[in-house]
């Protein structure tokens, strides 16, 4: 096999576990080719399972280590990484967990995973040039309205119905106490952002959500403001955006 | 600072360093332990947020080594341009004392296996890897080091030994070598080879850094195989081999790596002290 064919055979083996095509390319001695290859497949699954544990630490605690590992290894085979940085791995894991039949009665598991992935995405998002209060004050109204902006990459929005923030907070303790958490479903929209070095979480009011949604793609500041109308809700949304550096200037 | 002349691939201090992992970021950032240099896994710092800022804040006090685990120098399909650009941007930002990756591959057809998969030691692989290493070096504007891997198998199509393959790679691409002494031991044991003969063969190459770490012995029936998991102290046999390496090669910047079952920072620093004692001895011998 040439190098590309050999690597293609590895890919097929690692994802399927069938070493029929690759084993003959491996020197057999005290261990045969399939046994030696199995060490690599084991390392591949364990390594990516550990990466998912690192990205979803509270989700791991919610379902327990044994269940998490089984689910993670199945996920790895179905959705292997498409990028080299492991902190970017697992975007599809929350939906994968949500759709597992045995977790159907625990909808907060998938929501927690979504919240944890938003935290990581926010933490690693690029630093941009943010709209700041002094820029607003220094510009005439027409230029202000024409300012090209977009929601900052670190500003993630997550809709949940379970008390994931309370659950997450409780699991930061070595021995989580969940007795005081009211698990009754209550729809909430969470803003997960990183204005400086630390991730911050806030519940978003409907008007602020409308404001942030209007700025999801590149637009003019005037267009975003027009969605809310000039009232107290707009002022509050802009104040939040300035405080948490939620708008990037393009 | 260095009284030992290192090959041009390495600007690290000739002292012991530790691998910096996420669980220790906060303590290292605030307590600033007394250690000459820190090595990080490059791919963990390619985000744009708080992690590269941490390296910027540490680089005034510590020499920094960027050690890649995902560029996949052994890929037949060449390097991922986007990944390469992100590494180049981090190198510009951090100005590390050393940049390295592995003699292995991890990507094919857009799937990233996150493992250091083995390459066959033949002419086609050598040409592909030399091409990839040269492209890496062009992208970041400096020489890199390539690390010898722990291997658990050999390819039937290999037609030369690993030291010879590495020597040809250094010669063709102008790269240096990151000598992982634990990997030398693990591979030699797993294939019934002579680790000391490997060191002797590799000693003339431009070695700019040494790695030390722990491994474990896995029993499979009545047979055993050594697995490189960076999850335990450096074994006595690897310390002995390290002393042999220092005698053959001379003192080199030496890193203690620990990844799985990461112990407290103090344990890592104590392991680095053990390496420093041996380095001090080697420096006196060469003085």
Q: What is the CATH number of the domain that holds B184?
A: 3.20.20.150
Distances from the Cα of A101 to the Cα of A70, A74, A110, A111, angstroms: 14, 14, 12, 15
- For residue A194, the distance in angstroms to the closest alpha carbon of chain B comes to 8
Lowest mean pLDDT among A123-137, A164-178, B256-270: A123-137
| A211 occurs within a structural domain | no
Is residue B4 in a domain?
no
Tens-digit pLDDT profile for residues A17-70: 999 999 999 999 999 999 999 999 999 999 999 999 999 999 999 999 999 999
Selection from A239, A189, A235 nearest residue A209 by Cα: A189
Contact B129, B103 (CB under 8 A): yes
Is residue A238 included in any domain, yes or no? no
Residue A54: closest C-alpha in chain B: B22
Which residues on A lie below 8 Å from B43 (Cβ)?
84-86
Q: Residues 169 to 208 of B: which have CB under 8 A from any A CB?
A: 192
Q: Give how far B234 is from chain A: nearest CA, Å.
A: 20
Q: What end-to-end distance do the CA atoms of chain A give, in Å?
A: 50
CA distance B224 to B221: 8
Do residues B181 and B210 lie in contact, with contact meaning Cβ atoms separated by under 8 Å?
yes
Closest residue in chain B to residue A15, using alpha carbons only: B113
Q: In what order do the strands lie in the sheet with A156-160?
A: A156-160, A188-193, A200-203
Return d(Cα B87, Cα B46) in angstroms, integer.
7
CA distance A11 to chain B (A): 7
**Is residue A233 in some structural domain?**
no
Position A41 in a domain: yes
**Residue B32 is assigned to a structural domain of this protein:** yes
Task: Measure the CA–CA gap between A47 and A54, rounded to whole angstroms.
Answer: 11
Distance CA A74, CA A96 (A): 10
Over residues B180-191, mean pLDDT: 97
Assign A230 a pLDDT band (cuts: 50, 70, 90): low
Q: Which residues span the domain enclosing B44?
A: 16-286
Mean confidence (pLDDT) of chain A: 94
For residues A208-227, give the mean pLDDT. Answer: 89
In angstroms, the CA B35 to CA B230 distance is: 20
> What is the DSSP code string of B81-149?
HHHHHHHHHHHHHH--SEEEEESSEEEETTEEEEEEE----SHHHHHHHHHHHHHHHHHHTS--EEEPP
Q: Which residues of B touch A82 (CB under 8 A)?
A: 110-112
Nearest chain A residue (CA) to B78 = A4
Region of poorest pLDDT, from A200-204, B109-113, B283-287: B283-287
* Strands ordered across the beta sheet of A219-220: A219-220, A148-151, A247-249
Q: Which of residues 121-150 of B touch A (CB under 8 A)?
A: 124-125, 128
In this model, does residue B287 exceed pLDDT 80?
A: no
How confident is the model over B23-48, as a mean pLDDT? 95
Q: Which residue of B has its CA nearest to A44?
A: B115
Domain tally for chain A?
1
In terms of residue numbers, what domain contains A34? 1-124
Comparing A207 with B195, the larger pLDDT belongs to B195
∠ at Cα A8 (A7, A12), nearest 5°? 115
* Average of per-residue pLDDT across A183-199: 93
CB-based contact A40 B44, cutoff 8 Å: no
Average pLDDT over residues A191-213: 93
Mean pLDDT lowest for which of A150-164, B44-58, B198-212? B44-58
| Structural domain includes residue B81 | yes
- Give a yes or no: residue B150 inside a domain: yes
Give the distance from residue B3's alpha carbon to the nearest chain A alpha carbon, in angstroms. Answer: 37
Q: What is the pLDDT of residue B272?
A: 98
What is the arithmetic mean of pLDDT over A123-147?
88
Whether residue B197 is contained in a domain is answered as: yes
The mean of the pLDDT values for chain B is 96
pLDDT for A91: 97
Assess if residue A234 is contained within a domain: no
Looking at residues B62-85, what average pLDDT do you find?
97
How close A75 comes to chain B (CA, Å)?
Answer: 13
pLDDT band at B1 (very low <50, low <70, confident <90, very high): very low
Chain A: closest CA distance from residue B158 (Å): 10
- Tokens standing for residue B33: 């332990």
Cβ <8 Å between B260 and A14: no
In a domain, residue A20? The reply is: yes
Q: Which residues contact B14 (CB under 8 A, 6 or more apart)?
A: B2, B3, B4, B6, B251, B252, B253, B279, B283
Tokens 């992982």 locate to B180
The verdict on a CB contact (< 8 Å) between B48 and A48 is no
Contact B50 A123 (CB under 8 A): yes
Q: Please report the pLDDT score of residue B103 as a whole number.
A: 98
Residue B213 and residue B194: Cα distance in Å, rounded?
19
This prediction has a pTM of 0.94
More confident residue, A227 or B120: B120
The answer as to whether B72 is a domain residue is yes
Length of chain B: 287
Q: Which residue is closest to B52 within chain A, CA to CA?
A: A124
A146 part of a folded domain: no
Antiparallel, parallel or unpaired: β B37-41 and B63-67: parallel
B156 touches chain A (CB under 8 A): yes
Whether residue A53 lies inside any domain: the answer is: yes
Which residues in chain B are closer than 8 Å to A153, comparing Cβ atoms? 48
Q: How confident is the model at residue A142 (pLDDT cuts 50, 70, 90)?
A: confident
* Per-residue pLDDT reduced to its tens digit, B137-177: 999 999 999 999 999 999 999 999 999 999 999 999 999 99
Q: Do B50 and A194 touch (CB under 8 A)?
A: yes
Domain count along chain B: 1
- In the numeric block, the tokens 């658990």 are attached to B152
Residue A155 CB burial class (10 angstroms; 0-12, 13-18, ≥19): buried
Å between B101 CA and nearest CA of chain A: 13
Facing A3 at nearest CB: one of B43, B125, B260: B125
Do A82 and B110 lie within an 8 Å CB cutoff? yes
ipTM of the complex: 0.95
Which residue of chain A has the CA closest to B105? A7
Contacts of A14 in chain B (CB under 8 A): 113
């Amino acid at each position: 096999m040439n190098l590309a064919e050999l690597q293609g055979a590895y890919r097929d083996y690692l994802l399927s576990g069938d070493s029929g095509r690759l084993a003959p390319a491996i020197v057999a001695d005290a261990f045969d080719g399939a046994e030696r290859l199995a060490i690599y497949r084991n390392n591949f699954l364990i390594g990516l399972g550990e990466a998912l544990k690192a990205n979803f630490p509270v989700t791991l605690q919610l379902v327990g280590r044994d269940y998490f590992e089984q689910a993670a290894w199945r996920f790895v085979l179905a959705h292997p990484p498409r990028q080299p940085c492991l902190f970017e791995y697992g975007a599809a894991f929350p939906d994968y967990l949500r759709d597992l039949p045995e977790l159907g009665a625990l909808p907060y598991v998938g929501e927690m995973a979504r919240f944890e992935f938003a935290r990581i995405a926010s933490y690693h998002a690029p630093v941009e040039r943010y709209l700041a209060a002094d820029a607003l004050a220094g510009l005439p109204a027409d230029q202000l309205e024409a300012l090209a902006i977009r929601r900052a990459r670190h500003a993630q929005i997550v809709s949940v119905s379970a008390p994931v923030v309370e659950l997450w907070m409780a699991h930061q303790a070595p021995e989580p106490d969940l007795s005081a958490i009211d698990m009754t479903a209550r729809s909430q929209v969470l803003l997960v952002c990183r204005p400086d070095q630390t991730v911050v979480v806030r519940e978003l009011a409907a008007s602020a959500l409308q404001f942030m949604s209007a700025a999801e793609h590149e637009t003019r500041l005037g267009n975003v403001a027009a969605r809310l109308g000039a009232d107290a809700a707009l002022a509050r949304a802009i104040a939040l955006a300035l405080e948490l550096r939620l708008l990037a200037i393009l | 600072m260095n009284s030992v002349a290192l090959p041009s691939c390495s600007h690290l201090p000739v002292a012991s360093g530790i691998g910096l992992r996420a669980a220790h970021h906060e303590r290292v950032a605030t307590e600033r332990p007394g250690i000459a240099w820190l090595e990080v896994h490059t791919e963990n710092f390619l985000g744009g947020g708080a992690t590269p800022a941490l390296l910027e804040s540490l680089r005034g006090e510590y020499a920094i080594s960027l050690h890649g685990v995902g560029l996949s120098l052994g890929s037949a399909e060449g390097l991922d341009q986007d990944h390469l650009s992100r590494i180049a941007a981090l190198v510009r930002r951090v100005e590390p004392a050393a940049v390295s990756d592995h003699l292995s591959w991890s990507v094919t057809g857009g799937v990233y296996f996150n493992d250091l998969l083995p390459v066959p030691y033949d002419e086609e692989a050598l040409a592909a890897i030399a091409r990839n290493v040269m492209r890496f070096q062009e992208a970041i504007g400096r020489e890199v080091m390539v690390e010898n891997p722990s291997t658990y198998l050999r390819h039937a199509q290999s037609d030369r030994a690993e030291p010879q393959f590495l020597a040809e790679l250094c010669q063709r691409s102008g790269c240096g070598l990151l000598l992982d002494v634990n990997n030398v031991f693990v591979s030699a044991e797993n294939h019934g080879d002579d680790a000391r003969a490997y060191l002797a063969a590799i000693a003339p190459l431009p070695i700019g850094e040494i790695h030390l770490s722990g491994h474990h012995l896995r029993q499979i029936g009545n047979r055993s195989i050594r697995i490189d998991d960076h999850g335990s102290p450096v074994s006595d046999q690897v310390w002995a081999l390290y002393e042999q390496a220092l005698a053959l090669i001379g003192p080199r910047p030496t890193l203690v790596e620990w990844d799985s079952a990461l112990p407290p920072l103090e344990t890592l620093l104590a392991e680095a002290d053990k390496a420093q004692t041996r380095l001090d001895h080697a420096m006196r011998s060469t003085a």
